[in-house]
Structure 1
Amino acid sequence: MNSIIFSDDVWVLWGFIAVWAAVSIYFEQRFKWASAISGAILALVGAMLFTNIGVLPVESPVYDAVWAYVVPLAIPLLLFQINVRQIFSESRRLLFIFLVSAGGTVLGSIAAFFLLKNHIPFLDKIGGMISASYIGGGINFAAMAAKFETPGEYVSATVVADNFMMAMLFFILISIPALKWFQIHYDMPFEDKVKAEGNGENSAESYWKRKSISLKDIAVNMGAAFALVAVSVKIAGFFKSVFSHPLLTGTFGDQYLVLTTLTVLVIFLFPRFFEKLNGSQELGTYFIYLFFVVIGIPADLRLIVTNAPLILLFVFLIAISNLIVSLLVGKLFRIRLEEILLAVNATVGGPTTAAAMAIAKGWRELVAPIMLVGTLGYLIGNYVGTFMGNWFSSFL
């Protein structure tokens, strides 16, 4: 398809990606309607629109560069603030329900795969992507899409269905505390506190407020991220050359698994060093917004109309399984409703969207804990997605 901007117009394409990511973030933090939609969806839908009206090319080396370099750098940056010891010592209840939600994703993925495996092409790859994404969020989706080398048009169709499902699910999660049945059957201390205080003034902007970030913070964050990516690439390459069995090379030779494991090991050994760094979450989140812009660009709407309805059913079954399992187990163990809903949000959308929901609802005491617990999904999501994708492929 012809476009106004050519595929080799590198600076203009980089400019569009960076500017549209910035616009999406600005709108999310400036306007309530945009915050409700989420900046990620704005980035994706806007990029799709510009492609389908003929402004942007469907393919370009610039998009490949985002997948090859930006996504791997985002992984360690988003992991730097994990405090593994603190997760287990201070957030046990949230950690428990988060793992339950992840289990709901796994159960839903298995059921949905066997129900639809004969109707959706590349469902083993898509299943691995969504299994990882609905445990850790968008960064795991990116990692698995790159790992399984899923065709771009099916990545785009899955992203559209996924984001539509996430928008529906987030609306459900936000609406649940207002329903009387849940008010009667679940404890909601944080929601009750907000109502008692009569304070509804909360926004993404107030959470992502200005921080004191030095040149040293930026330099160390980026230097450490580049170093970890470089080392992980070399380690993964070494294991690929040593092992010949597909399972071993797919595990030990996987750049993303090596990268997440290496990063967590480093921050576990040197927690104080990384805790003192400011800006890693902001840098990593911005990189993810660049990714959301890029994955929206190659979306061929004709193919999406053809494939997305069934893919939407696939992701719907997984998301609903996550929610139902979380609510049932949470009720059994008397988990607070707010913690259940945030755990579901963190698994499906990632810790950033869960924190955004906590901020928007006024549950400020839960913002830091859900960010802390939710980042664990970055690690375990890649392992689950890798296993599920490889396992699903054995049935096709």
Structure 2
Amino acid sequence: METSLISPDNTWALWAFVTGWAAVSIYLEQKYAWASKMSGAIIALIGAMVLANLNVIPLESGVYDAVWDYVVPLAIPLLLFQANIKKIWQESGRMLTIFLLSAIGTVAGTIVSFMLLKDVIPHLDKLAAMMAGSYTGGSVNFAAMASKFEAPGELVSATVVADNAMMAVFFFVLMAIPAISFFRKRYQTPHMEEVEADTSENNGETQAASFWQRKEIALKDIATSVATAFVLVAVSFQLAEFFAGVVPSGEGVNIFYQVLGAVIGDQYLMLTTLTVLAVIAFPNYFGNIRGTQEIGTFLIYLFFVVIGVPASLALVVTTAPLLLVFTLIIVVINLLISLVLGKWFKFNLEEIVLASNANLGGPTTAAAMAIAKGWHKLIVPILLVGTLGYIIGNYIGTGLGLWFQTFM
């Protein structure tokens, strides 16, 4: 295997790259019109993808794991401190509906892809169960289905390679769709119009620069926001771990306990719930903290850089081309069905692309997209709904996997 210019254990150099490229992406987005239209998120993603595949940075590192394990959990509460709690349930109801409609796309895509490729990809019943779970919930469901159906390790690794590459490309496509006139003419886009209206009189500044105007912030704001985020993450993750150990789990367990364990034993669902409850209970405290959106958004940009480091595209082409086709079919059908059903049921374009993102990429990537686009009213709903996808993902994956076994 080729070695990268920056080795995986060169921690300081990799942190310098991740934070530095995030900063460059934000600077370009706020400085240049072309970058503002593309969005800093895409710049962060593409830059990391290119450098990873040119072997400048490694494909795997403990630094990337740290972003997933620590940076993303801290970003979530910071971005929820200023959430409009009054509209959460109203907006989440709409988002839940389009999320479930998008999940139909995942099921249909998995069935079509399986039927087309079951004779040429070994153990596809197991892999299809894994991808159905993952493309409804997330990596948690992927791992659960891989364990449940005892998929061969080398095939699991190859599927991860194909999935990572596909998700990097898919995220780029989803970010681009709202800017394409074909879609804007055919779908309602109230959240995009609100962002554009807020930044219409920007004296020649880009939309991003106008939105992220310089604000007054004190040392106390930084201290309280970061410390509160740490406390919420620590308490939430400890509670989730406790409940996961207390609630009965495993094969043969009553479905009530399975659902209960999936809800209160999930770290991100617990974190989102506790943060929302804390903001409701102490509105003045959270409402008076400045800078939480800025700090949280910068942390999310570190996440954008990391998800732009996919498994090697060359490795996909040489070792898993059919698996790439397999995941591509699922992704395309999910997006098409999401757009068609979303149009039919009169959903906004922003809700549709976020729901598709939450299905295929999980709540974190969907929330990150909402943040990058400035659709702040949709951040909390898509986090809540996307996290609930972890629950139904295992059931969808299990059901399809058992059915697919009858064809093998």
TM-score under structure 2 length normalisation? 0.74
Following superposition, the deviation at residue 225 of structure 1 comes to: 1.1
Q: In structure 2, how many angstroms separate the alpha carbons of the residues matched to 1:209 and 1:149?
A: 46
**What is the 5 A alignment of 1:123-162?**
123-132=128-137, 154=159, 157-162=162-167
Distance 2:282 2:56 in 1: 47
Is 1:66 the counterpart of 2:67? The answer is yes
1:210 to 207, 214, 236: 214
Q: Distance in 2 between matches of 1:187 and 1:56?
A: 38
Q: Which amino acid aligns with 1:382?
A: T
What residue in structure 2 maps to residue 15 of structure 1? 16
1:319 aligns with 2:322: no
> 1:212-255: per-residue Cα shift (whole Å, max 9, x none)?
22222211111111111111221122123223314354443222
More off after superposition, 386-395 vs 117-126: 117-126
Deviations 1:328-386 (A, max 9, x none): 111xxxx7xxxx123224433746645765xxxxxxxxx6xx42234211112111233
Q: Is the 8 A contact 1:217 1:277 kept in 2?
A: yes
CA 1:274–1:145 in structure 2 vs 1: closer, same or farther (change >3 Å)? farther
State the distance in 1 between where 2:111 and 2:274 align. 34
The answer to whether the Cα contact below 8 Å between 2:75 and 2:300 also exists between their aligned partners in 1 is yes
Equivalent in 203, 225, 231 of residue 227 of structure 1:
231
Letter in 2 for 1:257: L
Q: How does 1:92-103 map to 2 (within 5 A)?
A: 97-103=94-100
Q: What is the root-mean-square deviation in Å for CA atoms of aligned residues? A: 3.6
Letter matched to residue 319 of structure 1: L
What amino acid maps onto 1:391 in structure 2?
A: I
State the alpha-carbon separation in 2 of the partners of residues 102 and 250 from structure 1.
18
Q: 1:230 to 1:156 in 2, by over 3 A?
A: farther
Deviation at 1:143, TM superposition (A): 7.7
Shift of 1:394: 4.7
AA at the equivalent of 1:75: I
* Contact 1:345–1:354 (CA under 8 A) maintained in structure 2: no
**Distance apart, 1:129 and its partner CA:** 4.3
Q: 1:105 is matched with which residue: 58, 82, 102? A: 102
Secondary structure at 2:345's aligned position in 1? helix
Question: Could you tell me which of 344, 349, 362 is aligned with 1:341?
Answer: 349
Q: 1:54 to 1:70 in 2, by over 3 A?
A: same
Change in Cα spacing, 1:353 to 1:148, as seen in structure 2 (3 Å) is: same
Give the letter aligned to residue 321 of structure 1. Answer: I
Tell whether 2:391 aligns with 1:386: yes
Q: 1:227 to 1:319 in 2, by over 3 A?
A: same
After superposition, residues 1-396 of structure 1 pair within 5 angstroms as 1-87=2-88, 97-117=94-114, 118=118, 122-132=127-137, 154=159, 157-176=162-181, 182=186, 203-246=207-250, 247=258, 248-305=260-317, 306=321, 307-330=323-346, 340-347=348-355, 348=357, 350=366, 353-354=369-370, 370-396=375-401
Compared CA separation, residues 57 and 178, structure 1 to 2 (3 A) = closer
Q: TM-score, normalised by structure 1?
A: 0.76
AA aligned to 1:270 is: F
The answer to whether the 8 A contact 2:165-2:313 is kept is no
Gaps of 5+ in 1: 133-140, 358-366
Instruction: Please give the per-residue CA displacement for 1:292-323, whole angstroms capped at 9, x wherever unaligned.
Output: 22233352112434243432322222222222
* Paired letter, 2:35: A
Structure 2 letter corresponding to 1:15 = A
Change (3 A) 1:351 1:70: closer
**Cα distance in 1, alignment partners of residues 23 and 299 from structure 2:** 11
From the superposition, tell whether residues 56 and 179 of structure 1 become closer, same or farther in structure 2 (CA, over 3 Å): closer
1:125 and 1:148 in contact (8 A); partners too: yes
Contact 1:41 1:163 in 2 (8 A): no
Q: Which amino acid aligns with 1:84?
A: I
CA contact (8 A) 1:103 1:322 kept: no
Are the equivalent residues in 1 in contact too, given 2:51–2:57 (CA < 8 A)? yes
Is the contact between residue 81 and residue 275 of structure 1 (CA under 8 Å) also seen in structure 2? yes
Contact 2:105 2:337 in 1 (8 A): yes
The one-letter code matched in structure 1 to 2:309 is I
Q: Provide the identity percentage.
A: 36
Q: What is the one-letter code of the residue matched to 1:61?
A: G
For residues 224 and 154 of structure 1, do their structure 2 counterparts lie closer, same or farther at Cα, with a shift above 3 Å needed?
farther
Q: In 2 relative to 1, CA 392–143 (structure 1 residues): closer, same or farther, beyond 3 Å?
A: closer
C-alpha separation between the residues in 2 aligned to 1:174 and 1:209?
23
Report how many residues are paired.
358
